[in-house]
A and B are shown apart, each in its own frame.
Chain A
């Protein structure tokens, strides 16, 4: 028994060592040069997270992230290869060198920053207060005397509670759908929710599309890159900045999120 365990241990050590060597070899090469030489940009995109990425009726991936991937490849002058991933395996794909970029509605946090590098933000993802276009609200103080609908216990409920003035009323509902019903039936003029939920309303009831008033918590999406690829990172950031300036990014946002980029995005 002990002998077997020893063998297993030795085998594992050898594997770890081999992986280590491969990884360090991979890190030495310049990925940007490699992509240009290869002529193909491999991008990990989601297939189960509309409107960022889903499979269309033609069985091809479509969405915000796919448009972004196509745009970047186009700007780099290479063709694109889309690899559909899940939220659990998107970072491993990057680390093992099977994808050059992860454009998969990826949020930033400390733990992830230790594992991979990030570009500048390319897509808005936030919790905020939304409402009819004709209501003048642009910060929490403006909510005084108004009623806001929210789903009880959700993050936006907790966030809003911290900033809402005493004279405003928070009407809490059981779940997201009930909160939406309250908004759509006009029982509340403002709701606190995520921008994707607002997109969903805009899709179902274009004439009642809620407009973002202010943000409660901002966690935009970034493009993920393998650690230490400074040239590729600079190139991607340059392309994002260009997309931002020439209006491409705003157009992608209008197409998939049914709303322009929020004010101050990308700054």
Chain B
């Protein structure tokens, strides 16, 4: 019944799709966390106007489906003259999405940092930038690191949706192969395993980075 050898002619397509998914995930994670950090800082320290604007962005994105955001960017924006390729539209949707979620996550970390810690840093003669990065941000990240890791993995798994606007990612490859040889069970089982491995590798990479970033706290 089952026949995995039917997938062999499509190995090339699967690997290409895997690479697109990895590429999108790396860019989206780096950019999304950067947006989230800026957003969290703005929401924590900014004035009323900035806080309100970031709040609107976060609520708008967190309370609408990802696929609708994606379709709006790809099919809707051309009406305003903004035409993005499928790949660009997919990446931007992922960036905006992770940016909103990580803003909230990182903000929680900032809020949990005691004021006294910042005042102590000032007294010790650290510049405001040094104080923010070393005394506020890194400890804040340490507190919310597991939640942030999970969110980034969710975005990687959620990237499967970009296949709907013809981004040739791993899921696109799976759908295409399925439409050619009708081996649904085999194709989706293999692709699910590839996503699983990808998620496990991603978690390990995050853990390794965490051990490096938070090394001082661990040793003390």
Which residues of A pack against B, CB within 8 Å? 149, 152-153, 157, 171-174, 178, 181-182, 185-187
B166 pairs with A149, CB closer than 8 A: yes
List the A side residues contacting B164 at CB < 8 Å. Answer: 173-174, 178
A187 pairs with B175, CB closer than 8 A: no
List the A side residues contacting B172 at CB < 8 Å. Answer: 172
Nearest chain B CB to A91's CB is how many angstroms away? 31
List the B side residues contacting A171 at CB < 8 Å. Answer: 86, 166
Given contacts A152-B175, A152-B176, contact A172 B166 (CB under 8 A): yes
Which residues in chain B, 148-200, are within 8 Å of chain A measured between CB atoms?
A: 164-166, 172, 175-176, 179-180
Residue B46 CB within 8 A of the other chain: no
Which residues in chain B, 58-77, are within 8 Å of chain A measured between CB atoms?
A: 74-76
Residue B49 CB within 8 A of the other chain: no
Residue B83 CB within 8 A of the other chain: yes
B166 pairs with A173, CB closer than 8 A: yes
Complex partner residue of B83 from A153, A157, A187, CB under 8 angstroms: A187
Complex partner residue of A185 from B75, B175, B180, CB under 8 angstroms: B75
List the B side residues contacting A157 at CB < 8 Å. Answer: 179
The residue on A at minimum CB distance from B77 is: A185
Given contacts A152-B175, A172-B172, contact A186 B166 (CB under 8 A): no
B78 pairs with A185, CB closer than 8 A: yes
Assembly CA distance A171 to B166 (angstroms): 6
Complex partner residue of A182 from B75, B176, B180, CB under 8 angstroms: B75
Given contacts A149-B166, A178-B164, A187-B74, contact A172 B79 (CB under 8 A): no
List the B side residues contacting A174 at CB < 8 Å. Answer: 164
B83 pairs with A186, CB closer than 8 A: yes
List the B side residues contacting A153 at CB < 8 Å. Answer: 179-180
Assembly CA distance A185 to B84 (angstroms): 11
The residue on B at minimum CB distance from A186 is: B78
7 nearest CB pairs, A to B: A153-B179, A171-B166, A185-B78, A185-B75, A181-B75, A186-B78, A152-B179
Assembly CA distance A80 to B44 (angstroms): 80
Assembly CA distance A171 to B167 (angstroms): 8
A185 pairs with B79, CB closer than 8 A: yes
Nearest chain A CB to B3's CB is how many angstroms away? 19
The residue on B at minimum CB distance from A152 is: B179
The residue on A at minimum CB distance from B85 is: A187
Assembly CA distance A116 to B180 (angstroms): 35
Assembly CA distance A149 to B75 (angstroms): 13
List the B side residues contacting A172 at CB < 8 Å. Answer: 166, 172, 175-176
List the A side residues contacting B83 at CB < 8 Å. Answer: 186-187
Interchain residue pairs with CB less than 8 A apart (20):
A149-B166, A152-B175, A152-B179, A153-B180, A157-B179, A171-B86, A171-B166, A172-B166, A172-B176, A173-B165, A185-B74, A185-B75, A185-B76, A185-B78, A185-B79, A186-B78, A187-B74, A187-B78, A187-B83, A187-B86
List the A side residues contacting B76 at CB < 8 Å. Answer: 185
B75 pairs with A187, CB closer than 8 A: yes
List the B side residues contacting A182 at CB < 8 Å. Answer: 75, 165-166
List the B side residues contacting A152 at CB < 8 Å. Answer: 175-176, 179
The residue on B at minimum CB distance from A161 is: B180
Assembly CA distance A149 to B176 (angstroms): 14
Nearest chain B CB to A237's CB is how many angstroms away? 41
List the A side residues contacting B74 at CB < 8 Å. Answer: 185, 187
- Which of B79, B165, B166 has the most chain A CB within a 10 Å cutoff? B166
The residue on B at minimum CB distance from A188 is: B166
Nearest chain A CB to B109's CB is how many angstroms away? 39
Nearest chain B CB to A210's CB is how many angstroms away? 16
Q: Mark B79-118, 1 if CB is under 8 A from A, else 0.
A: 1000100100000000000000000000000000000000
Assembly CA distance A98 to B164 (angstroms): 49
Nearest chain A CB to B19's CB is how many angstroms away? 17
List the A side residues contacting B79 at CB < 8 Å. Answer: 185
Nearest chain A CB to B88's CB is how many angstroms away? 11
- Which of A178, A185, A187 has the most chain B CB within a 10 Å cutoff? A187
Assembly CA distance A152 to B164 (angstroms): 11
Assembly CA distance A182 to B211 (angstroms): 45
